[in-house]
Amino acid sequence: MKLTPTIGRILFALPLIGFGISHLTDASSMTGVVPSYIPGGIFWVYFSGIALIAAGIAIIINRYASQACWGLALFLLLIILTIQIPHLMSSNTQTQEMGMTNLFKDTIALGASIFMTGYLNNK
């Protein structure tokens, strides 16, 4: 059925737009998540917010969707390596728990992004 992949693609993309909007509307509180060794701070929060919204829109309208999924996969891999894994190594138990939850969420989204590129390239 052709409707099923369309619904799945839209359901995959809508949270990206929501995450992107939250990056733009709550940038000041998200700046603290950007590792101190990465210069730019709030720039990266705004940049990633705009990129998430753009990826979500591209996937929904199915224009450059495969490229958007590859970009999303790279973004998520960088988030896992620079934010989630360091949180797991924190001495703060709450930070470790948050890191584990977000690591699982981001790994699921990373896998789904890579899966989507395969699907979009083979349809």
The reported pLDDT for the residue numbered 3 is 85
pTM of the model: 0.89
The reported pLDDT for the residue numbered 121 is 77
Judge contact between 84 and 103, C-beta under 8 A: yes
Instruction: Please identify every stretch of the chain with a pLDDT value under 70, giving residue numbers as ranges.
Output: 1, 123
The reported pLDDT for the residue numbered 123 is 66
Cα-based angle 26, 46, 95 (whole degrees, multiple of 5): 55
The DSSP symbol for 1 reads -
Start-to-end C-alpha separation, the chain: 13
Which amino acid is present at 14?
A: L
Q: Say which residues have a Cβ less than 8 Å from residue 121's Cβ, sequence separation at least 6.
A: 66
Which residue ranges make up each domain of the chain?
3-122
